[in-house]
Homo-oligomer: A and B are copies of this chain.
């Protein structure tokens, strides 16, 4: 899955734990599927299986919303769909802007699932003058010059950043100054934002690197299992000054045609 959080760390949200909030969309999706199949009720066990979680966890999650189940029977599907939607704020319409209409931004604009649950793409914004007016997903791209106007006129509170990493911080500042208080960031940068602004990030590189870590471990374990005592696959924690040279060499060769421009501090 995508990654973590970057908001106010502990501010309990009316008692609903952050971990629970993150799972509600999962439950909602499973419930919607049941609803479409006209299933009237569902037990915590069944729903948990569909959402891929532990049934006790699901029941505890729901208990934060209230006592919406019936013992011996389960949960009313329609009713739960409504309650969770309301809790997540999906009963209202959320206008969203996408900034940076390149490969990814265009894919996002074309994404149907966007509009599916209360989210409406209010505008597509790009800094490239050549993009101005060009239709993407049946909507003309607008120039960044009008960013503030677009945000305020549409009452936008949620912004999606799909610009190169180098532009992300600046874009976020403009979005926030114009009234945006929630940002979904696809650029591989750490955004620094004022209190009260929520940032969530989606970072492909990080996800792949985490997978690579586990993949390497699997390979190491396997090798270790095959050859009884070939204790080297997982690398020995011994060398130090020796590897310094190799380290420098490795670092020197590391400068591919990347897009991963990290955020750095003064010095």
Task: Tell me if A130 counts as interface (CB < 8 A to partner B).
Answer: no
Whole-angstrom distance between the Cβ of A138 and the nearest chain B Cβ:
13
| Bound-complex Cα distance A104 to B209 (A) | 20
Chain A interface residue count, CB cutoff 8 Å, equals: 114
Task: Tell me if A4 counts as interface (CB < 8 A to partner B).
Answer: yes
- B116→A205 contact, CB < 8 A: yes
Question: So how many copies of this chain end up in the complex?
Answer: 2
- A81→B247 contact, CB < 8 A: yes
Cβ contact of A88, chosen from B79, B86, B213, cutoff 8 A: B213
16 additional contacts (CB under 8 A) given A14-B217, A21-B213, A103-B110: A1-B4, A24-B209, A24-B213, A33-B262, A33-B263, A82-B251, A87-B213, A88-B209, A92-B216, A94-B215, A103-B106, A106-B107, A116-B257, A117-B205, A117-B209, A182-B212
Whole-angstrom distance between the Cβ of A267 and the nearest chain B Cβ:
7
| Bound-complex Cα distance A35 to B250 (A) | 11
- A81→B259 contact, CB < 8 A: no
| Stretch with Cβ within 8 A of B (4 or more), from A146-154, A170-178, A192-200 | A192-200
Task: Tell me if A85 counts as interface (CB < 8 A to partner B).
Answer: yes
- B115→A257 contact, CB < 8 A: yes
Complex interface residues of chain A between 220 and 247 (CB less than 8 A to chain B): 234-235, 237, 243-244, 246-247
Complex interface residues of chain A between 1 and 58 (CB less than 8 A to chain B): 1-7, 13-14, 21-22, 24-26, 28-30, 32-37, 39, 46, 49-52
Whole-angstrom distance between the Cβ of A34 and the nearest chain B Cβ:
6
- A103→B111 contact, CB < 8 A: yes
Cβ contact of A79, chosen from B188, B216, B237, B244, cutoff 8 A: B244
When A103-B107, A247-B83 are in contact, do A202 and B212 touch as well, CB less than 8 Å? Answer: no
| Bound-complex Cα distance A51 to B78 (A) | 43
Cβ contact of A33, chosen from B25, B208, B218, B261, cutoff 8 A: B261
Task: Tell me if A90 counts as interface (CB < 8 A to partner B).
Answer: yes
Task: Tell me if A214 counts as interface (CB < 8 A to partner B).
Answer: yes
- B234→A208 contact, CB < 8 A: no
Task: Tell me if A128 counts as interface (CB < 8 A to partner B).
Answer: no
| Bound-complex Cα distance A216 to B36 (A) | 27
| Bound-complex Cα distance A49 to B267 (A) | 11
- A202→B113 contact, CB < 8 A: no
- B215→A181 contact, CB < 8 A: yes
| Bound-complex Cα distance A37 to B66 (A) | 54
Task: Tell me if A201 counts as interface (CB < 8 A to partner B).
Answer: yes
